[in-house]
Amino acid sequence: MKIIDDVIPFSIQNELEKNILNPNFPWGHMFSSDLANEASDDYVLLKRKEFEGNEIIDPGQFYHNILIDQKPGQFFNWFTPILDAIKFEDMRILRMKMNFNYPWIGNKESTHGIPHVDLPHEKGYTTAIYYVTDGDGDTFLFNEKNGHKGPLTIKESISPKKGRIVLFEGDTLHAACPPISNRPRIVVNINIR
């Protein structure tokens, strides 16, 4: 795991945040942060049982696909400074999208979304999370890997800070915590090989 603060210059951080928070920016909405619009209360109960965790929730979120069918979307160029800053040799982007989490009623500091990996059928990739906004709503990285069943232990809790990026092995179980404050938690989620 690697955390880099101010991975891109402040001026680009501010412009990116301003553009993304523009009320006309095209966001889609998912009723479940884990299964798009397919999740149910039963699914959340199943995940609580699977990971033996009662603090698991599944709040909705807004999303925007930056890379669509392996092709750059309309706003892809806004994010190239981030990609340039983390350039891997012969980097291949597997998936790139944004998540916009809003405060969830009943949320507590110990509450978190469903533990997951972004690409459960892929091997040998890196997940990068870039924080567009300051705020609360930490990202929990767990010690456990994809396929684990049973209790989870938190390896690291990363707080959102505009301009921060965290990189970790793609098979690491992780979860987002919805914000408690009234500030949105907006991240760029990149899966690279």
Instruction: Tell me the domains of the chain and their CATH numbers.
Output: 2-26+64-192 (2.60.120.620)
Q: Annotate 25-42 with b (16+ C-beta within 10 A) or e (fewer).
A: eeeeebebbbeeeebeee
Which residues partner with 95 through β-bridges? 191
State the CB neighbour count (10 A cutoff) for residue 124: 8
Q: For every one of its 193 residues, what pLDDT tens digit does the chain have, with 9 covering 90 and above?
A: 999 999 999 999 999 999 999 999 999 998 877 655 455 677 778 888 888 877 888 888 999 999 988 899 999 999 999 999 998 888 999 999 999 998 888 788 788 988 999 999 999 999 999 999 998 899 999 999 999 999 999 999 999 999 999 999 999 999 999 898 878 999 999 999 9
Residue 87 to residue 93: CA distance in whole angstroms: 11
Strands (E), 26-79: 28-30, 61-65, 67-68, 71-72
In this structure, the dihedral spanned by the alpha carbons of residues 32, 37, 40 and 43, taken in order and rounded to 10 degrees, is -70
Q: How far apart are the first and last CA of the chain?
A: 15
